[in-house]
Amino acid sequence: MFVVNTENVPGYDTVEIKGLVQGNTVRAKHAGRDIAAGLKNLVGGELKGYTELLTEARRQSVQRMIGQAQQLGANAIVNVRFSTSAVTSGAAELYVYGTAVLLHPQSQNAPPPPAQTVQAPTPDPGVQQ
């Protein structure tokens, strides 16, 4: 599965547009992370607990989006975009969306896949499809 933020993939033709696909997750802050973040704010530096939280949220959202694309029979998602929003005090949503498409190589000598590819996800048992 190609996952790119461009309109097309070099060396491939878009032969069918499958539709909009999306994935999201809502995450709440952790009291322990808040205490550590408060202390870190005094001295400066990376808030690693929050970095890990956002990294996991992005991974999960992308996996959910890829799952939708696979259900549509797509082999790529183009024009991928991320968005975040506050849901309530202490909780935020990470949302990712793109266009699921079917790509075919332009020739036998098509270039290798883009550097950024994502493996097919395993289903998330906690989410109803």
57-85 residue pLDDT tens = 999 999 999 999 999 999 999 999 999 88
Confidence at residue 53, expressed as pLDDT on a 0 to 100 scale? 81
With cut-offs at 50, 70 and 90, classify the pLDDT of residue 127.
Answer: very low
Q: Is residue 69 part of a domain?
A: yes
Q: What is the DSSP string of the chain?
A: -EE-SSSS-TTEEEEEEEEEEEEEEEEE--HHHHHHHHHHHHH----HHHHHHHHHHHHHHHHHHHHHHHHTT-SEEEEEEEEEEEEETTEEEEEEEEEEEEEEESSTTPPPPPS-B-PPPPP-TTS--
* Structural domains in the chain (count): 1
Q: Is residue 122 part of a domain?
A: no
Q: Is residue 112 part of a domain?
A: no
pTM of the entire structure?
0.73
Q: Is residue 53 part of a domain?
A: yes
In terms of residue numbers, what domain contains 85? 2-105
Q: Is residue 113 part of a domain?
A: no
Q: Is residue 116 part of a domain?
A: no
Q: What's the CATH number where 61 sits?
A: 3.30.110.70
